[in-house]
Amino acid sequence: MSSTLVTTSTASATPATPTASDAGRFKSWLLQDIRETHATVHKPHQAPWYKVMCLTGVDYFSTLGYQPSIAFAAAGFLSPIATFILVLLTLFGALPIYRQIARLSPNGEGSIAVLEQLLPRWRSKVLVLCLLGFAATDFVITITMSAADATAHIIENPLVPHWLEHRVVVTLVLLAALGAIFLKGFREALGVAVAIVILYLVLNVVVIGWGVGYIFQHPEVIPNWRMALVTQHGSWPMMIGFALILFPKLALGLSGFETGVAVMPLIQGRADDPPQNPAGRIRGAQKLLLTSALIMSVALMGSSFVTTLLIPPAAFGPDGPANGRALAYLAHEHFGEMFGTLYDISTISILWFAGASALAGLLNLVPRYLPRYGMAPEWAKAMRPMVLVFIAITFLVTVIFDADVEAQGGAYATGVLVLIMSGSVAVTLFAWRQRRGWIPYLAISLVFLYTTITNMIERPEGLRIASMFIGAIILTSLVSRVARSTELRIHGVALDENAQTFIDQAAAAGAVRIIANRPDQGDVSEYASKLREARDSHALRSWDPVLFLEVRTNDASDFTDLLEVRGVEVGPYRVLRTESPAVPNAIAALMLHIRDRTTKVPHAYFGWTEGNPLVYLLKFLALGEGDTAPVTREVLRQVESVPDKRPRIHVG
C-alpha cells in the first residue's frame, strides 16, 4: 500500500523584519533564533570519548574547587572517612546505574526520558515536570555556586585590589558576563574544554601530590589527626556511624553523571552503528563514565585527606581564607603567589565553564520536553528570552544565598541526588520488567533514597527551591497547554491507498462531504443509522456521496502527532479511520489536507453534544475529546484566516 505524506506546520521561523522603533528591533533580535519543534535535527560534531569527557569534566571536576571545604564544614575531621563512603557510592552505586542509563538512552536524554518511557500517558508527563524542577535546581545552583566559588578565588587572591571584595557584586558581574556571552551566541568549544580540564587536573595533581608527600614526610600529622578523631567521636565504630550519617552532605561529588549521559550525542561511535542501538557510542559513553568516576574518586580522596590534615580548622570558617577554596589555599601557602595565582586562574576558568555548561543544559531542557508537551509558549523556542529568564533566576538565587558557596550546597546536592535516584529507579523498573538482575539495582535505589531523604531533612532549602521550580514549571506548563490547545497540533497527514481513493473519487463527484462519527460497533447498521440522522439534520441529498470519519484518541497527554489515515469499506459505506491525541485538531488537519489535495473546500457534519459545555471543555483538555464541532471550527479559524478558503463545519 502506498501512502502520501504532507507536512502541515505553523509559520516558518524567519527573523522578523526590523522596524523603525527600538522596541521592534529589540523584539526582532530577541526572537531571531526561534526554533521549530519539528525542525530538522542536525548531527552534532562528534569526537572521541576521552575528549568529550572534558565537556562533562568542567562540571564534574570543577567541584574540587569547593568540595573539600564543604566536606570539612559538614564532617570536620571525619571528612576523609565520609568522602571514602561517597567514593564507594560513586563506584558501586552511581557508576553501574549510569552505565545502564547510557545503554537505555544513547541519544543523551538521560534518566528523565527513561522514566518517561516506562510510565504511561499523563503520569509520565507529571513525573517529567517534577523531575525537570529538580534538574532546574541542579543546573541553576551549578551556575550560581560556580560563580560564587570563582568569586571566592578572585577576592582571596592577594594580587586583587581590595575594592573588589564584594562577593555578591562580583558574582552578579560574572553571571551577567555569562548571560551576555549566550545572548551574543555561545557554542561549546571542545578544544577549550580539553585545555581547561587538563591544566586544572595537572595543577591539582601537583597540589594533592605535594600534600600526600608532606604528610608522609612528617609522621606526626596522621597521629594528630587520629587523636582529634578519638577526642571528638571515641571509637572507630562511632566514627564510621557518624560518617554514614554525614556523607549525604558531601553529595556534590556525584554531580557529573547526568551530564556524562547528556553529552552522549557528541561521542564518536562506529560508522556502521544503527541509530536505534549505537553500540560504539554506548561503549564510549561507558568508558567516559568509568574514567571520569575513577579520576574524581582519586581526586576527592586525595583532596579531602590533604586539606583536612594540613589546613587549620579556623581557616575553613565563614570568613576564613580556605572557605570555598581549600586547595587554592594550599597552593598559595606552599607554592608561592605565582603558582597560587595560576591555580586561581585555572579554577576560575573551569568554574566559569561549568556555569556555561549548566546554562547550555538548561537551554536544552525546554525544547527537549516542554514544546513536545505543548507546555511552553512560542517564545520559549528562542534561546535569548530563555537566557534572560534563567540569568534573572540566578541573580535572585545569588542574592538570596548571599553568594555563599556552602549555603548553596544543600540545594545543589538535592538536585543532584534526586536525578541520580530517578535514574536508579528507572534502571530498577526496567530490569524488573525484563525479569533479570533487578535486586542489586533496588538496593542501590534504596541507598540513594536514604541519601536523598537525609539531605533534604538536614538541608531543606534544596527541597524548597526545587518546589518553587516545580510549581513554576507546572503552572506555566498548564497555562501554555490550555492556551495552545486550539492550535492545529498535527505536523503531517499520511493517507493510505484506500483513503486517497475515497477522497479523490468523492471530490470528482462534487464537494467532499464528511460525517463525523463516534466509533462504536463499526457495523453496517451503525453507519446506516448515522447517515439517516445526518440527511435529516443537514438536508443532505440522497445522491450526495459522503465519507465517514472516525478519530479515536490514543495518548491525550501528547501534544503533536502525525495523522495516519486508513480507508476501510463497511458494506456500501466508506470510512476514514485514524488516531490522534485530540479529536477536533485531527479533524481540522484532515479537512485542510483534503482542501489542499483536491482544491475544493470540504464540508464536515456534526451533531450537537448534549451536556454541560464546561465539562466538555475540561474533557477536551484532559482527554482530547469533548464538544468536537465548535473546537474544530476554532482550530480552523486560527489556521485559515480567509473565510472562503476555510473548510465548512455544519452542526445540527
For 453-478, what is the mean pLDDT? 83
d(CA 208, CA 300): 10
Q: Are 362 and 390 in contact (CB under 8 A)?
A: yes
Percent of the chain past pLDDT 70, that is, above it, reads 89
Dihedral over Cα of 17, 21, 23, 26: its sign: positive
pLDDT tens digits, one per residue of 245-290: 777 777 777 777 877 787 787 788 887 777 777 888 889 989 999 9
d(CA 215, CA 210): 9
Position 133 scores a pLDDT of: 84
What's the per-residue H, E or C state across 220-281?
A: CHHHHHHHHHHHHHCCHHHHHHHHHHHHHHHHHHHCCHHHHHHCHHHECCCCCCCCCCCHHH
What domains lie within the chain, and their CATH numbers? 49-355+403-453 (1.20.1740.10), 490-651 (3.40.50)
Tell me the three cell numbers of residue 388. Answer: 534572560
- Give helix 167-184 / helix 337-369 axis angle, nearest 10°: 50
3-state helix, strand, coil in the chain (%, to 5): 70, 10, 25
CA 642 to chain centre: 40
d(CA 158, CA 150): 15
Question: H or E segment at 367?
Answer: helix 337-369
Position 2 scores a pLDDT of: 42
pLDDT tens digits, one per residue of 492-518: 888 899 989 888 888 888 888 888 888
SS3 414: helix
CA–CA distances in Å: residue 296 to residues 48, 191, 293: 20, 21, 5
pLDDT tens digits, one per residue of 541-581: 777 788 989 888 887 777 777 888 999 888 888 899 988 88
Long-range (24+ apart) CB contacts under 8 A made by 361-364 are: 361/139, 361/259, 361/262, 362/136, 362/139, 362/140, 362/386, 362/390, 363/182, 363/387, 363/390, 364/262
Closest-CA residue to 100 (of 429, 480, 461): 429
CA–CA distances in Å: residue 138 to residues 338, 406, 539: 34, 15, 63
For 476-496, what is the mean pLDDT? 81
Instruction: Say yes or no to pLDDT of 459 above 70.
Output: yes
pLDDT tens digits, one per residue of 109-163: 777 877 877 777 777 788 888 888 888 888 888 888 888 888 888 887 777 777 7
**Distance between terminal CA atoms of the chain?**
37
d(CA 200, CA 65): 10
For 426-436, what is the mean pLDDT? 86
Q: Are 609 and 652 in contact (CB under 8 A)?
A: no
* Concatenated DSSP letters of 59-95: HHGGGGGTHHHHHHHHHGGGHHHHHHHHHHHIIIIIH
pLDDT tens digits, one per residue of 326-385: 999 999 999 988 999 999 899 888 888 788 777 877 777 766 777 677 776 667 767 788
pLDDT tens digits, one per residue of 43-65: 556 788 888 888 778 888 888 88
Mean pLDDT over each residue of the chain, to the nearest integer? 81
Q: Which residue has the cell 594528630?
A: 224
Query: Taking phi first (over 0 means left), then psi (-120 to 50 degrees means alpha), and beta for anything else, what does residue 467 get?
Result: alpha
